[in-house]
Amino acid sequence: MSDHTSDAAQSAPPDSATAADSDHDTLSLSVPSMDCPSCAGKVESSVSDLGGITDIDPRTASGTLVVGYDPDRTTPAAIRGRVEAAGYEIEDSDEPYDPMAIWTSSRSIRTAVGGVLLLVGIAFEWVVPAANPTLATVLGAEIGLDWIAYVVAAAVPGTTILRNGYYSARNLSLDIDLLMTGGILGAIAVNLPFEAATLAVLFSIAELLEAYSMDRARGSLRELLALSPETATVRRDGEEEVVAAEAVEIGDRVIVRPGEKIPVDGVIREGTSAIDESPITGESVPADKGPDDEVYAGSLTEAGYIEIEATAAASDSTIARVIDLVEAAEGEETDTEQFVDRFAAVYTPIVVAAALLTMTVPPLVVGGPFTEWFVRGLTLLVIACPCAFVISTPVSVVSGLTSAARNGVLIKGGSHLEAMGDVEAVALDKTGTLTTGDLGVTDVLPLNGNTEADVLACAAAVEGRSEHPIADAIVDRAADTTDGTDDRAVEGFEALTGEGVRAEIDGVTHYAGKPALFADLGFALDHAHLETDGGVTAEGVDAADDSDETTAAIAADEIADCEHGQYLDLLSETIPRLQQAGKTVILVGTDEELEGLIAIADTVRPEAAWAVDRLRANGIERIVMLTGDNERTARAIGETVGVDAVQASLMPEEKVEAVRELRESHPGGVAMVGDGINDAPALATATTGVAMGAAGTDTALETADIALMADDLTRLPYLHTLAETADGVIRQNIWSSLGVKLLLAVAAPFGYVSVLGAIVIGDMGMSLGVTGNAMRLAGLQPEEPPTTAD
């Protein structure tokens, strides 16, 4: 297909040159009518004739041509000229997008005129033959009003076809334009004006419909492009001014009012707001943001005035990088596309040869009117066009990639989409993937008459100067629990390597650390006394505050009685049980008294178990957790989320080996899901590497095959479902279009298929069919895990 009208599809700036490196520049052109491999081949052949061209990347899925060139040897104007010399128009992005522009284009008008003239000719020939006198006879052909109407009907819309056919011949491209040109001229030459007019008009209608449907498929990418506002309000020298988003500089103070879109990536410096980040992360629930929180260009402020400090230029924003990566991904050919192109390169010449043989051999061998066999051969020429077959895969890929991007999943190529649909096993990192990666206090157990607040206050005071994540978790919990009025003097802080920390609080030495530290201090951890005056009861519930879930640190059967009250065997019972649950245990006390126990754990993502279950329901054969954490903690997390196997205490190279072993046992492929940074070697080893939480991480965007923009595991089952569905759609499109083409090709020589049927069914019908089928992917939405009532 090659509709050389401006259908207003806009997926990239039409004439945007960027510096690729010190020696070469890159030019991006919007060429909406370049929508099939044949079109791309003609454009590439024409542009490559220029000197100084270093790289040509025609992206038919988005109608974009990206050209690398040496500015010392050629210019953007020269490149534009070569594109136009190949017969393709370059679109001007200054014109607003109009989805109906295709129907008001010059080609559409010419096609309409041709259609009217075709009907006039039919009326003269069949409805009012008495009003159709013979005006002349030329070389034995009678020229009547119907003949004139047919020829003009073929000529008016056919000029575009003939022009494109000329460019195809000049570029030695055996494509639909050349075939239709030969068909129209041949039909006129053998005095078949009705067939010539029918071919020209119906083929032009088919081209317009295919261009319209392709434009709709490209609409998803246009939606991404429209996310970022074109202007921004900035405060400079104390004055507000509205500038182009591209003019915002790093460090500028950008003002965003309720209902406005954020123009650039930045950090909030003033104000709070509920912000809809669904265009970037796919998360439908607005996030509450305040000072020091990151925000992304394209997000919508639903309530609240904010001022942000720009941290990136508009061209370097997260959404801009996503769009660039999606556009680049759409330009990559999948294995299936390469197969289809190879098949089409064989199919078309064979069918063209069959058409020529049908026109010439049967009249000599089996007899019959030459015109009848010519029409049958002409029908085969129409069938020889592999357009529907060729576009069946790229239109599915572009629909899948842009649908994923709208839902917070960046897929960096159709090959990765295909591969994800075939995976049989999934390997999941623990920290930051199955868990949030943020440590939190889960249990507080006061001992020897202390309260929970006492234990947290002492622990926070001791840990306050530590930079360890465990210390941060304790300090944060203490801040939430106490009233913040602890003004005791803390001196002499010391980190005890591998054991904990020590500091003096109001002159008394306090410790916080591993159980082994307190065992070395001489405490009998197998006999630790509890609070006995109205605090912890034998049922393990804090009578002072029975709503506090942290008191679950005590199990009823662990409490024993002694002459001094009740005690716990921390060493053999309580601590092992907490560690078995994947928690890290910290004891707090002085040289003389054990004050309490604090348990800390990485929080399992609430959707993790649901995501694992959905992956298994989707057909994933094996789900494995790979982690560098200790065996006991890893197994506790693994049991909680329901993975099939756990491999713990792995070094990075051991994770790589584990992924490699999974690939050997699962030939369909393995997806590795991690943070995109620490897991980079394992991600690279897997068939498909998936990075979590990539919205604010440049490295993850660059290194992963697929990036989940938000820290949300619900997108993982959606990704697999989308990939599987896309694989199915591609197979349906390929085999249905191929089957129809082959059926028509077999039937045409026997006269069972007319030119009209070949165009309406084999060309226009199948092209519209595969495009419509591919667009089903745009409607696929992520499932949400069921909410559990408290």
Positions annotated as catalytic residues are 429
Structure tokens at 416: 């990765």
Check if the beta carbon of residue 268 is closer than 8 Å to that of residue 292. Answer: yes
Residues 6+ apart with CB under 8 A from 96: none
CA distances from 493 to 308, 510, 518 (A): 38, 10, 17
φ and ψ at residue 295, rounded to 5 degrees: -135, 160
Q: In what order do the strands lie in the sheet with 231-236?
A: 239-244, 231-236, 253-256, 306-310, 266-270, 294-295
CA pair distance 584, 606, nearest whole angstrom = 20
Buried b (16+ CB within 10 A) or exposed e, 380-416: bbbbbbbbbbbbbbbbbbbbbbbbbbbbbbbbbbbbb
Q: Which of 698, 674, 696, 694 is nearest to 684 (CA)?
A: 674
Sign of CA dihedral 601, 606, 608, 612: positive
CA pair distance 311, 327, nearest whole angstrom = 24
Structure tokens at 84: 């136009």
φ and ψ at residue 370, rounded to 5 degrees: -60, -40
Q: What 3-state DSSP class applies to 722?
A: helix
CA pair distance 722, 619, nearest whole angstrom = 13
Specify the DSSP class assigned to residue 711: S
Q: In what order do the strands lie in the sheet with 559-562?
A: 528-529, 565-568, 559-562
CA pair distance 481, 476, nearest whole angstrom = 9
Sign of CA dihedral 515, 520, 521, 525: positive
Neighbours of 456 (CB within 10 A): 27
Neighbours of 270 (CB within 10 A): 13
CA pair distance 34, 58, nearest whole angstrom = 8
* Helix H or strand E segment including 26: strand 25-30
Own/partner contacts of 743-751, CB < 8 Å, gap of 24 or more, are 744/379, 744/383, 745/351, 745/354, 745/380, 745/383, 745/384, 748/358, 748/376, 748/379, 748/380, 748/383, 749/354, 749/358, 749/362, 749/376, 749/377, 749/380, 750/376, 751/372, 751/376
In 702-762, DSSP assigns E strands to: 706-708
Q: Which of 344, 341, 343, 227 is nearest to 276 (CA)?
A: 227
Specify the DSSP class assigned to residue 538: T
Specify the DSSP class assigned to residue 668: T
Check if the beta carbon of residue 167 is closer than 8 Å to that of residue 177. Answer: yes
CA pair distance 378, 179, nearest whole angstrom = 9
Structure tokens at 747: 């039937």
DSSP string, 360-416: HHHHHHT---HHHHHHHHHHHHHHH--HHHHHHHHHHHHHHHHHHHHTTEEE--HHH
